[in-house]
Amino acid sequence: MANIKFEYIWLDGYKPEANLRSKTKVLQLDNYKGEVDILPDWSFDGSSTKQAEGHSSDCVLKPVRVYHDPQRIDAYLVVCEVYNADGTPHKSNTRATIKNDSEDYWFGFEQEYVLEVDGLPIGFPEKGYPAPQGPYYCAVGDGNVAGREIVEEHMDICLEAGIGITGVNAEVLLGQWEYQCLGKGATKAGDDLIASRYLLYRITEQYGIKVNLHPKPVKGDWNGSGMHCNFSNSAMRNEGGEAMFKAICEAFRPVHEEHIAVYGAYNEERLTGLHETQSINDFSYGVSDRGASIRIPVNTAANWKGYLEDRRPASNADPYLIVARIIKTVESANVLV
């Protein structure tokens, strides 16, 4: 029998945006191979996470996805859903809102974030600002990027854990980075994003650096942080057609406000119509248009097969709410196609 560490990870009940929480369970197991169904449920004090009252504080963690934990010996990361004591999903359990989990749907998140020290993005001077943005996007060289060692470590650990990281790059704001995370199936996409965020937070603890997911981390003439969501289903990838893609885009128009409502807190500070965004009050789509709500990639428009990019989600958004809402809208469009 081996002592194996399992880090149970969940989203708490804080508003307007949930925080990640975790705690470690040690189990004695033989020949554990990453099976999720043999892991026990585990209760926690919901009164300390805004998920229960003190007089009835037990909430239950149900394991739903397991990843190897490269940073610890004999250890695994366990993404969990939160349930009430009566066996029903907790109201904060946004993963349970996903109704269609078919691998027919693929989601690629572009998670932007800012690394901070003492309230400033790393690389910023103690007083004033660096040179205006322009030289920082996909840059190389001291003064043009800051924090690359953290970014590289995070990418390597995520890949070793089995998380679907497909790339990283420096972003438009100095100290701002992005990684791309692809999942086939709605819950897999959300779980990978949650696990990747968890590892990013844990890595930066060692450096004394904060991860800022606010969609407008620096006020003024600086880009915000988003989490663009690329999405497709098999019909979009294999059948396609201009009429299909335009019908899907048009299906998003009447439910724009419903999408914005689940696309992250403080997003109005980012979606201003400037800095490669459309106004939060308007909806638009266009080929290769980074100022639109939904961008039709030029490669998709070349033969009208592929994916679409929803550019509205904020960097702090809940991935489960995003994928659930997108699937609902796409499926309403498929009736018309």
For the chain, the farthest-separated pair of C-alpha atoms sits apart, in whole angstroms, at 60
Kindly state whether residues 163 and 299 are assigned to the same domain.
yes
Which residue from 242, 274, 263 is spatially nearest to 315, judged by alpha carbons? 263
Residue 101 domain-assigned (yes or no): no
Model confidence at 194: pLDDT above 60: yes
pLDDT, one tens digit per residue, over 89-132 is 999 999 999 999 999 999 999 999 999 999 999 999 999 999 99
Kindly state whether residues 56 and 175 are assigned to the same domain.
no
Kindly state whether residues 300 and 327 are assigned to the same domain.
yes
Under 8 Å between Cβ of 35 and 162: no
Token digits for 332? Answer: 């309403």
Tell me the CATH number at 31: 3.10.20.70
Total domain count for the chain? 2
Tell me the CATH number at 140: 3.30.590.10
Kindly state whether residues 266 and 327 are assigned to the same domain.
yes
Residue 322 domain-assigned (yes or no): yes
Kindly state whether residues 233 and 297 are assigned to the same domain.
yes
**Phi, psi (rounded to 5 degrees) for 228:** -50, 140
Kindly state whether residues 284 and 166 are assigned to the same domain.
yes
Grade residue 285 by pLDDT with cuts at 50, 70 and 90. very high
Residue where a domain stops, chosen among 76, 96, 116: 96
pLDDT, one tens digit per residue, over 3-61 is 999 999 999 999 999 999 999 999 999 999 999 999 999 999 999 999 999 888 999 99
Kindly state whether residues 182 and 251 are assigned to the same domain.
yes
Residue 324 domain-assigned (yes or no): yes
Print the domain residue range for 241: 106-334
First to last CA, the chain: 56
Residue 84 domain-assigned (yes or no): yes
Residue where a domain stops, chosen among 71, 96, 121: 96
